[in-house]
């Protein structure tokens, strides 16, 4: 029924059987995991580059939309001035004055999300902290304790 081998089982026969069962030698086991880890690291680096590009494009789109809205306000103010010979005192004047609309709707600033406001001559004060942001130069607050 079963054929018996004439030669005794040797060490090389056992190693050969282990290789065929497991598929790989024990010295080769970690290479697939190492390759997989390398591929994941490369994908994370590529995703980081793509995220930076997308963030830049979103910022550029918001800036472009802000320019468009600024042009709409400038056209409305120019039309108001041509019609009445003076500049509007508030934004409501651009929306409805004598049942005339110079601005279709009030736009919000796409970068900050706040409403635009009219600036009159002398109101706009430009400082270094306005240009760089309020957090760039923190203002020290005086202490509440008595002076020495």
> Is residue 55, in this structure, part of any structural domain at all?
yes
Cα–Cα separations (whole angstroms), residue 138 to 40, 74, 126, 129: 42, 35, 17, 9
> Is residue 90, in this structure, part of any structural domain at all?
yes
> Is residue 80, in this structure, part of any structural domain at all?
yes
Number of domains, the chain: 1
User: What domain range includes position 112?
Assistant: 30-132
> Is residue 146, in this structure, part of any structural domain at all?
no
Q: Are 116 and 88 in contact (CB under 8 A)?
A: no
> Is residue 14, in this structure, part of any structural domain at all?
no
What tokens does 88 get?
Answer: 């509007």
With residue 46 as reference, give the H or E element that holds it. Answer: helix 31-84
CA 8 to chain centre: 71
Tens digit of pLDDT at every position of the chain (148 positions): 555 556 666 766 666 665 555 555 666 678 888 999 999 999 999 999 999 999 999 999 999 999 999 899 999 999 999 999 998 888 888 888 888 888 888 888 888 888 887 777 777 777 666 656 655 555 555 555 555 4
Q: Are 66 and 109 in contact (CB under 8 A)?
A: yes
> Is residue 51, in this structure, part of any structural domain at all?
yes
């Amino acid at each position: 029924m079963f054929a018996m081998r004439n030669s005794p089982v040797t060490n090389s026969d056992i190693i050969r059987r282990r290789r065929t069962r497991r598929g790989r030698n024990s010295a080769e086991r970690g290479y697939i995991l190492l390759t997989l880890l390398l591929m994941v690291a490369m994908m994370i680096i590529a995703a980081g580059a793509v995220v930076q590009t997308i963030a830049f494009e979103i910022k550029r789109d918001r800036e472009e939309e802000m320019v468009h809205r600024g042009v709409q306000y400038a056209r409305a103010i120019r039309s108001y001035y041509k019609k009445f010979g003076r500049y509007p005192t508030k934004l409501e004047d651009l929306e409805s004055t004598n049942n005339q609309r110079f601005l279709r709707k009030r736009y919000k600033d796409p970068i900050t999300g706040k409403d635009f406001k009219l600036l009159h001559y002398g109101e706009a004060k430009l400082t270094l902290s306005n240009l760089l942001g309020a957090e760039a130069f923190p203002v020290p607050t005086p202490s509440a304790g008595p002076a020495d």
